[in-house]
Structure 1
Amino acid sequence: MKVACVGGGPAGLYLSILLKRQDPSHDITVFERNPAGSTYGWGVTYWGGLIDKLHGHDAESARAIRESSVRWSAGVAHIRDHRTVHHGDEGFGIGRHRLLGILAERALRLGVRVEFEHEVLAGAEPPDADLVVACDGVNSALRERHADHFGTRAVAGRNMYIWLGTTKVFSAFTFAFVETEHGWIWCYGYGFGAERGTCVVECSAETWTGLGLHEANEADGLAVLEKLFAEPLDGHPLIGRAHEDGSARWLNFRTLTNRRWYRDGLVLLGDAAHTTHYSIGAGTTLALEDAIALAGALGAERERDAALARYERERRAALLPVQSAARYSAQWYENLPRYTGLPPERMFALLGQRHSPLLPHLPPSLYYRLDRAVERLDVLRGLKRRLGPKVASLLHARTPTPRD
């Protein structure tokens, strides 16, 4: 089969690897518009389960990704002048540049052609292939050629955000919430290498304009943010991302969905098919899982269209809970003032519960008390199972109620 992957991000490169491993006779080309070694962004996050999954499909690339990643096992929140820590949140960070380098090198060794500085424009004909994979991102030119067929829908979030780098190497996944006279502004920080970290800053549009960030040049904007987040940054500078206009960009996150994921020999992959809010840190994981599912469907079905239908069906079902979690997570931040009156420890606890569909409908203090009561009940039930019937009967008499 002749396959053209348009877009050299994680989804397209990993799909090319999996298809070549399935059948070395596949003729596969990855077309990437940027030069070799050039990419946007800083670090990306993933969780332990992803490495296990990748190891089952290509152990060599999985080992290289794991060895190039940093790990954290705690979350830290700075709320006003208070610092609170939650242990046990294990996650991983890797530089986007390093991740793409690993996947591109592996693909090339397997015989995939990777053509850099080759852009497929919206008005141009797609590459001649049995299967064309649109993995060219949220603004996919291939998808937009048939937007009516795919039923593309994009919904912009209310908040503004900017993706920055920093020389601060975070040892834990770090949140910082700062109250200004114009409203709240916050950041997420995480490490991805020995010398760099990622810092995503977010705030409401009103706070953004009130702080003058809507009209500040890059240097002045970064200076404002460095002052606001001096404590979690430990005095380290923030680093912007260069664009054509020479500045890092503030954006509204766009949640993108499609009614259909394929048309004849064209199929959507990764951000071209769907996006989920960055606050759940799942974008790269979902892109790689898309590639696994598409390769699996193509290997299992004899007919191309049957394989594409299977891929769409499986991935749409798998995405439903993730998209729901992402939607509630984004709404939690969009309604941040609802939670800022809580004691810092409780606010941080509800930050961890932001994916809950129940939380927006209950007073935060009530939800917190109910959640703690349920947690205590679960602990006692577990003890009763382990300690046996005699001790369990004693514990039963002391089972707490929500009033406790």
Structure 2
Amino acid sequence: MRVSIAGAGPAGLYAAILIRRARPDIDISIFEQNSSDATFGFGVVFSDQALGFLREDDAETAALIEPHMQRWSDIAVVHRSERIAIDGVGFSAIGRLDLLKLLQQRAVQLGIEPVYETRIETAEDLGPADLIIGADGLNSVVRASGRQEFGERMETLSNRFIWYGADCEFDALTQSFVETRLGKFNAHHYRYQAGRSTFIIETTDATWHEAGFAELDADATRAVCEELFADVLDGARLVDNNSTWRQFPNLTCERYYSGNKVLVGDALHTAHFSIGSGTRLALEDVVALVDALKSSDWNIPDALADFQDARHPALQKIVGAATRSAAWYEAFDQHMTLEPWPFALSYIRRAGRLDADKLHRFAPGFTAQLEAHGVSLSI
């Protein structure tokens, strides 16, 4: 049996690792258009709950990755200069390039050698294969081979965001909301390694245009962003890595497979960065796919159908939460009219998964502080 994988990001590498562990006899090829040390973005964040699946399904890979992770126990929301801690969820983060290097190391240990700097123009370029896995991201060549068959739907959100790093550490996953001379902005920031953090800046499309960002080059854009978040950065500098203003693409596919081709990760779906689940979902997709292959005794048509049936409910739950979270951020400037404590409550409930009872169990310290500030959980 021959498996061809498009994309050597976390999903593609992990698919190869799990398949090789299950079936050492399978011929696996991975093709990646970038070099082995190329990556975009900075850190990858996981909740402790999200890491559980990795420990359960692949303890060896988990043991390789976890020592390199930064950990913290709270979310922090900063609004009108008031910092509010929300307890209840532990998080871990790792540099995106560090994660790739560790998965590459694990793949090499298993005799897997991706082919880098090789651009695949069409799915046919992957050669004859019993199974083709599209792990090639939002602009997937595999998905492009049959957009109608996959039932692709794409919607672009309105807000603008730009993904930087910062040469400093933050002590928690923090959401900083600021009102500046140019309008209202938000930053999502967290540390991912010693002395380094991810720093994603977001604003509405109207504010972005009014601020004149369309006319600024990369250096001027970074300088303005450093000024807007000077109090948050506290002397630190933003770090550029192909950092450009973008609008988030909401991608869904009605069918996860077509013939012998199957999609995983951002090739199949996107989940708004505000819930920090993109890489987690990609790895979970791969786990579900390989589980389906094993349970069907590697019968490809049966396995792909089983993969969609098994994966769809869990995926829809998380993507649905991400969609609701994104909708909250699309109107974050309006939410900022709230006082800090009601605002923090609105933030933590943005995905629609926490009623009053769940919030009490999830974040007892935060809910106690809400009550002390006279904020009703019915808001």
Common fold by TM > 0.5: yes
Residue 89 of structure 1 is matched in structure 2 by 89
Q: Which ranges in structure 2 are unaligned for 5 or more consecutive residues?
A: 365-375
Aligned to 1:311: 307
Match of 2:329?
333
SS of residue in 2 equivalent to 1:30: strand
* Secondary structure class of the residue paired with 1:251: coil
Q: In 1, distance between residues paired with 2:231 and 2:377?
A: 37
Q: Measure, in 2, the Cα distance between the counterparts of 1:374 and 1:15.
A: 36
Deviations 1:36-77 (A, max 9, x none): 211111001111123322122222210121111100112222
Kindly indicate whether the alpha-carbon contact (under 8 Å) linking 2:47 and 2:92 is maintained by their aligned counterparts in 1: yes
Deviations 1:278-306 (A, max 9, x none): 10100000000001001100011032100
Which residue is equivalent to 2:294? 299
Instruction: Write out aligned runs for 1:46-195 (5 A).
Output: 46-122=46-122, 125-195=125-195
Separation in structure 1 between the aligned mates of residue 353 and residue 59 of structure 2, nearest angstrom: 37
Tell me the C-alpha RMSD between the 2 structures.
2.2
Letter in 2 for 1:270: G
The residue that corresponds to 2:198 in the other structure is 198
Partner of 1:40: 40
Contact 1:134 1:142 in 2 (8 A): yes
Matched with 1:384 is none
Matching residue of 2:341: 345
Q: Which residue of structure 2 aligns with residue 234 of structure 1?
A: 234
The DSSP-based 3-state class of the residue aligned with 2:162 is strand
Shift in alpha-carbon separation, 1:262–1:224, aligned structure 2, 3 A: same
Query: Is the Cα–Cα contact under 8 Å of residues 164 and 240 in structure 2 kept in the other structure?
Result: yes
Aligned partner letter, 1:301: S
Instruction: Name which one, 1 or 2, has greater alpha-carbon Rg.
Output: 1
Does structure 2 retain, via aligned residues, the 8 Å contact 1:162–1:202? yes
SS of corresponding position for 1:227? helix
Aligned to 1:10: 10
Q: Structure 2 counterpart of 1:143, which letter?
A: R
The residue type paired with residue 194 of structure 2 is A
Contact 2:47 2:89 in 1 (8 A): no
Q: Is the 8 A contact 1:27 1:112 kept in 2?
A: no
- How far does residue 182 in structure 1 lie from its aligned partner after superposition? 4.5
Please give the alpha-carbon distance, in whole angstroms, between the structure 1 residues aligned to 2:303 and 2:206: 47
SS of equivalent to 1:99: helix
Q: Give the whole-Å Cα distance in 1 for the aligned partners of 2:127 and 2:345.
A: 50
Question: Are positions 1:286 and 2:286 aligned together?
Answer: no
How far apart, CA to CA, are the structure 2 residues paired with 1:318 and 1:372? 22
- Please tell me whether residue 274 in structure 1 is matched to residue 269 in structure 2: yes
Distance 1:123 1:24, change over 3 A: closer
Counterpart contact for 1:31–1:114, Cα < 8 Å? yes
Partner of 2:316: 320
2:260 paired residue among 262, 265, 273: 265
Query: How far apart are the structure 2 equivalents of 1:180 and 1:55?
Result: 43
Distance 1:374 1:74 in 2: 14
* TM-score between the two structures when normalised by the length of structure 2: 0.91
Q: CA deviation at 1:124?
A: 5.2
1:164 and 1:15 map into 2 onto residues whose CA distance is 29
* Cα distance in 2 between the residues matched to 1:190 and 1:373: 25
For residue 250 of structure 1, what is the amino acid of its counterpart? Answer: W
| Separation (CA, whole Å) in 2 of partners of 1:154 and 1:373 | 33
Residue 133 of structure 2 aligns with an amino acid whose one-letter code is: V
Q: Deviations over 1:218-243 (max 9, x none)?
A: 1111111111111221110001113x
The answer to whether the 8 Å contact 1:42/1:197 transfers is: yes
Question: CA–CA distance in 2 between the matches of 1:40 and 1:10?
Answer: 12
Secondary structure of 1:24's aligned partner = coil
Length-normalised TM-score, structure 1: 0.86
CA 1:123 to 1:134, structure 2 compared with 1: closer, same or farther past 3 Å? closer
Instruction: Supply the AA of the counterpart residue of 1:345.
Output: W
Q: Give CA-to-partner distance per residue, 1:272-330, whole Å, 9 cap, x none.
A: 11111110100000000001001100011032100000011111111111111111101
Contact 1:72 1:91 in 2 (8 A): yes
CA distance in 2, matches of 1:35, 1:374: 44
Deviation at 1:342, TM superposition (A): 1.8
> Do the aligned residues in 2 keep the contact of 1:51 with 1:66 (CA within 8 Å)?
no
2:246 aligns with one of 233, 246, 251 = 251
Higher mean alpha-carbon deviation, 74-83 vs 87-96, is at 74-83
Q: Hey, what's the Cα distance between the residues in 2 that align with 1:187 and 1:22?
A: 42
Structure with the bigger RCO (C-alpha within 8 Å, sep 6+) is 2
2:373 maps to which residue? none
Aligned residue type for 1:343? E
